[in-house]
Chain A
Amino acid sequence: MENGEESFLVNPEKLDDDDEVLRFLDSLDAYLRLRDSVSSMLRQTKYCTVVMHNTCQYRLASDGDGEEERGEEGEQEEEVHWNCALSGWFELATARHSMGSSRVSSVVLDQKVQPAATTLQVRESVSGSHINAWSSSAKDGICSSEEIELSSMQTTVKDSELRHRGTSSFYDDMKKINSTINLTPTDSDSNIQKERSKMLSVFGTLVSPKLRAAQVSFETALDGIVEIANVQSTLLSSFSRLQQERNDSS
């Protein structure tokens, strides 16, 4: 009985090691999924396919469960292809086709000094550096107090749950945020819409909906890049802690 109880008890040191490993693997998982999403936003078909293939190979090697993963791989590849089709660059080409090459070209971009629509701020924390993206208001070029806390969007994994590689939720989360931004009639949302229209004014005031869609795609891609940087920072810090603990234990 005592032996059974002992075997049932979890070694606290081993639990910490397992936590670190779990954290590292989850960070790696999130990092790879985010890279997929951003690549699809920016139209890198070949890269998406390679990353997804490598990720699924890793899952097959670690879990040894073939059929479920092959089904998941098919679903994820389908989503990647669908996402690729909605890339920002392609939508820009669509807008150029609709409005004409002279209206949508680099020649009309504004050369005046102006504040950026989005600024990034690096914040140091225990788990490493994190980047916050700030969207600026249209008033006198001063950045508004609205902060898009992207690191909080990262899927949190509880230790007691099994890890599940679902479809990339980043794109869906950003769509929800954008749709919320479009629907909620708050001052900050209207400022965001005004800022978006102001950025597009170089192409004219009455622009095609395709150009607006391209703008949203590029915004989403930018947010994805920020999130990737944050996850990469977390990943590297987890990896370095893990290495340190292994060195200490050996």
Chain B
Amino acid sequence: MYGFEALTFNVHGGYLEAIVRGYRSGLLTAADYNNLCQCETLDDVKMHLSATEYGPYLQNEPSPLHTTTIVEKCTLKLVDEYKHMLCQATEPLSTFLEYITYGYMIDNVVLIVTGTLHERDVQELLEKCHPLGMFDSIATLAVAQNMRELYRLVLVDTPLAPYFSECITSEDLDDMNIEIMRNTLYKAYLEDFYNFCQKLGGATAEIMSDLLAFEADRRAVNITINSIGTELTRDDRRKLYSNFGLLYPYGHEELAICEDIDQVRGVMEKYPPYQSIFAKISYGESQMLDKAFYEEEVKRLCLAFEQQFHYAVFFAYMRLSEQEIRNLMWISECVAQNQKSRIHDSVVFIF
């Protein structure tokens, strides 16, 4: 019954909610970002991060540092925190935490399949996979020639198996089919996650519905913008949109026929929550759209921590950590390329 979680939530979830709130207080603040923005070299970045939670992960890295090294080590921190929470979680929280990693699994599957298509070494590809998306038989993906084999040989025993029902064909894997497979899998995953949260009910369902709906809408906009000028037909584009969210179904119908960014703006401005996002960017421009969406997402994720006794705080923390890692990657790139004046183009402050 919604509203009475306070009576029973702490029995199984109290410890981990306290842990994740402790992790949240370790996220970088505006003062930390101001210090990082003053750095001249990547070694300066490492020095400033040594005073944060990332310190132990970067301290043993030799100079000269690379941007990819900083991103990898910061990701390891997130992985360790996630694994600590997962090993302490009971049902249904453990399933909820596992759902969070399915997105990374999909990205890893697509990375391996795409890399194999372009004759890359499997070991190199495995090193680039996200640690949270690894599973036992992932290396076997390299032998599959089409999606039917992909499913039969590898994915049937993974959590992604139920999402493959719409993708199974005997067509050979090529760049377009892989892209469609990626987006179809992710669509199925989001819908499944959404339904799972609805079943959990209570504050988890309410908050996660809002967060997942925003994710679905943002993906719809990105798919639309990225497919402008490509061979993806309108029908195929429409099939990649999720079947929930604020834009479903009428917004999706309009987005499917958009041919440029201004038409996308015209569609999105009809929805009040997205008017503020598109008000920040000028006509014909899409450069700042990503930042506007990230800022809106961060605002919603921070609001999740205002309520207690629900699982959305775990999802919110994982996403905020991803945003923090994106910020660090951007700052590192700007410092490495001597473009410090552009740092604030894409950094999204969390607090």
Contacts and interface: CB of A to CB of B under 8 A. Distances in A.
Interface of A: 43, 45-46, 85, 87, 89-90, 93-94, 96-98, 100-103, 105, 107-112, 193, 197, 201-202, 204-210
A62 B329 CA distance: 47
Contacts, number: 98
Contact of A85 (B110, B225, B227, B339): B339
8 contacts: A100-B107, A102-B107, A102-B108, A108-B111, A204-B110, A204-B175, A206-B223, A206-B232
Contacts of B329: 96-97, 101
B333 A97 contact: yes
B226 A108 contact: no
B339 A197 contact: no
B230 A197 contact: yes
Nearest to A85: B342
Nearest to A207: B226
B183 interface: yes
B179 A206 contact: yes
A111 to B, nearest CB: 4
A111 B119 contact: yes
B302 to A, nearest CB: 21
A28 to B, nearest CB: 28
Contact of B179 (A108, A205, A210): A205
A94 B346 contact: yes
Interface residues of B, number: 45
A193 B230 CA distance: 10
B337 A43 contact: yes
Contacts of B290: 97-98
Q: Which 3 residue pairs of A and B lie closest in terms of their CB atoms, listed nearest first?
A: A205-B179, A206-B226, A93-B333
Interface of B: 68, 71, 107-108, 110-111, 114-115, 118-120, 124-125, 127-130, 175-176, 178-179, 182-183, 223, 225-227, 229-232, 286-287, 290, 326, 329-330, 333-334, 337-339, 341-342, 346
Nearest to B119: A111
A90 B342 contact: yes
A182 B183 CA distance: 28
B118 A202 contact: yes
A103 B226 CA distance: 14
Contacts of A87: 337
Contacts of A210: 287
A204 B179 contact: yes
Contact of A111 (B110, B118, B330, B341): B118
Contacts of A111: 118-120
Give the one of A107, A111, A204, A207 with max B CB within 10 A. Answer: A107
Contacts of B68: 101, 105
Given A43-B338, A204-B110, 9 more contacts: A85-B342, A90-B339, A97-B330, A102-B108, A102-B128, A102-B129, A102-B130, A197-B230, A206-B183
A108 B112 CA distance: 9
A205 B71 contact: no
A31 to B, nearest CB: 25
B186 to A, nearest CB: 12
B40 to A, nearest CB: 13
Contacts of A94: 287, 346
Contact of A205 (B175, B337, B346): B175
A179 to B, nearest CB: 13
Given A97-B333, A205-B176, A43 B227 contact: no
Contact of A45 (B230, B330, B333, B338): B338
A100 B108 CA distance: 12
B226 A112 contact: no
A201 B290 CA distance: 21
A94 B339 CA distance: 12
A40 to B, nearest CB: 12
A108 B337 contact: no
B209 to A, nearest CB: 25
Contacts of A93: 330, 333-334, 337
B118 A89 contact: no
Contacts of B333: 90, 93, 96-97
Given A94-B346, A96-B333, A107 B125 contact: yes
Contact of A202 (B114, B127, B129): B114
Contacts of A100: 107
